[in-house]
């Protein structure tokens, strides 16, 4: 069964109660949707994959249980093996599943960087991601105490891998950040990041 956005969102609602984790998965989904047409992918499907990539984190909060045991749940729900392989590829060290397809590289590259953007939005007087800029993100990036859980070296590495695999090496970190930010800004209301005004 090919994963749909409806099925993906139903899985999120079933397994994820934390609003912040739901927003993370929605953010990754929106970033994936943004990249899909550039890389020959189906936007709805890529968004659905982004939506479910961490669906089992609350019940399997340890690596490599996540995403390995989550993959078993997906199989039990009839999700296709290509989707499951992509989900497994976002933690190669624990699953042994290498990134091969553009969707695999996009998923990992869009994963952690969204956390920086959410954090940078939520500390603003008016938490509206549409007012966030790349220069302000760069300042936050340099402050290692800010969003300390965002592994800067990891983000740089997976962005470079994404660039090499899908853009002929022509995707710099802040170009990638700009793409992800645009995708999230376009979905500000849905992500709950449209501010209080």
Pair of tokens at residue 21: 């984790």
CA–CA distance from 11 to each of 8, 16, 19, 22, 35 (Å)? 5, 8, 14, 11, 23
* This model's pTM is above 0.85: yes
What is the set of domains in the chain, with CATH numbers? 5-189 (1.10.3210)
Q: What is the pLDDT confidence band of residue 197, given thresholds at 50, 70 and 90?
A: low
DSSP string, 70-116: HHHHHHHTT--HHHHHHHHGGGHHHH-----SHHHHHHHHHHTHHHH
The per-residue pLDDT for range 115-133, each reduced to its tens digit, is 999 999 999 999 999 999 9
């Amino acid at each position: 069964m090919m994963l749909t956005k409806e099925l993906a969102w139903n899985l999120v609602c079933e397994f994820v109660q934390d609003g912040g984790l739901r927003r993370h998965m929605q953010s990754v989904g929106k970033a994936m949707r943004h990249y899909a047409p550039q890389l020959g992918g189906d936007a709805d499907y890529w968004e659905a994959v982004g939506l479910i990539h961490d669906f089992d984190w609350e019940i399997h909060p340890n690596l490599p249980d996540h995403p390995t045991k989550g993959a078993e749940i997906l199989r039990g729900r009839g999700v296709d093996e290509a989707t499951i392989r992509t989900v497994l590829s976002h933690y190669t060290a624990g699953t042994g599943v290498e990134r091969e397809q553009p969707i695999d590289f996009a998923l990992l590259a869009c994963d952690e960087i969204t956390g920086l953007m959410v954090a940078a939005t939520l500390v603003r007087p008016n938490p509206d991601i549409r007012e966030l800029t790349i220069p302000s993100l760069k300042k936050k990036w340099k402050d290692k105490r800010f969003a300390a859980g965002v592994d800067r070296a990891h983000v740089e590495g997976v962005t470079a891998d994404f660039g090499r695999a899908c853009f002929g090496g022509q995707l710099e970190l802040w170009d990638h950040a700009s793409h992800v930010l645009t995708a999230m800004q376009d979905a500000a209301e849905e992500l709950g990041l449209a501010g209080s005004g």
